[in-house]
Amino acid sequence: MANELKIDTEYITLGQFLKMTDFVSSGGMAKWFLKENEVLVNGDYENRRGRKLRNGDCIDINGDSFIIIQSS
């Protein structure tokens, strides 16, 4: 079962997602993290920290699954 991450904006970036979920402690670490770990967005490998994540997007990182839910 995927963890839900609620956002109150139209989108967040993958770098922001990594900080919000405590995979990294700073934005500068996001670039390194994406090079060293397999990150899938909607089933496709992703290494751009600026990738926009929107409502319904699924992110898989090292066996952890998340789904983006936009708050009303």
Residue 29 CA to residue 60 CA, distance in Å, equals 18
Residue 24 CA to residue 71 CA, distance in Å, equals 24
User: Domain with 50 in it: what CATH number?
Assistant: 3.10.290.10
- pLDDT tens across 4-63, in order? 999 999 999 999 999 999 999 988 899 999 999 999 999 999 999 999 999 999 999 988
Q: What letter represents residue 22's amino acid? A: D
Task: Tell the residue number behind the tokens 């699924």, with chain if given.
Answer: 58
Strand stretches in 1-72, DSSP E: 3-7, 11-13, 39-41, 44-45, 52-54, 58-61, 64-70
pTM of the model: 0.91
Query: Token pair for residue 22?
Result: 């405590």
Residue 72, pLDDT > 70, answer no
Overall domain count for the chain:
1
Residue 68, pLDDT > 70, answer yes
Q: Which domain holds residue 50?
A: 3-70
